[in-house]
Amino acid sequence: MIVLPVRILAVCVMLAASAVQAQTTNLAFGAVKADTSLPVEVTADSLDVNQTDGSALFKGNVLVGQGEMKLTARQVLVVYNKDGGGIQRVEATGDVVLVSGPDAAEADRADYSIDTGVIVMTGNVLLTQGPNALTSDRATVNLATGTAQMNGRVKTVLNPKGN
């Protein structure tokens, strides 16, 4: 049987309790605020354009870039505004990786609303910032403000020595 000193046991209980209760975490994301008015560049292995609904489906090794923001995925659907006035939203699926400055996030899916500069990432979300990593069910990244919010079973590992 392992016997822990009372202080260590108390700290372990507090950390476990806070991990269970933590459902939302707010943090900074990206080194600088992104300019969401910049052009969006998309590169892929193939492109299917649907004239009926005004969408474009990019498949295979898709890379989306807008200023400092880079997003990669297996498939990206670009939905255009009905009035033909630009991109309404971008829907990325399959091994999605978002990089902005030194920060990165991975997920199964990402939905990017161009007008608001908000990217909602869902499914096995992993956010890394230097040596720190957080996981959750959902992350909402606001490129315009340079912030992120993680929701749903947020988990991180805290290193008491700062390494």
pLDDT tens-digit readout, 90-129 = 999 999 999 988 889 999 999 999 889 899 999 999 999 8
**Span 22-34, pLDDT tens digits:** 467 787 887 667 7
Q: What is the DSSP string of 50-115?
A: ETTTTEEEEEEEEEEEETTEEEEEEEEEEEE-TTSSSEEEEEEEEEEEEEETTEEEEEEEEEEETT
pLDDT in tens, 43-65: 999 999 998 888 999 999 999 99
Does residue 81 have a pLDDT over 80? yes
Q: Rounded to whole angstroms, what are the CA distances from 160 to 16, 34, 131?
A: 15, 33, 13
Split into its structural domains, the chain has a count of 1
Asked if residue 9 belongs to a domain, the reply is no
What residues make up the domain containing 70? 24-156
Domain membership flag for residue 7? no
- Residue 148 included in any domain: yes
pTM of the entire structure? 0.78
Q: Within a domain: residue 163?
A: no
- Residue 142 in any domain: the answer is yes
Residue 162 pLDDT: 60
Of 130 and 45, the structure prediction assigns the larger pLDDT to 45
Place of tokens 């991975």: 106
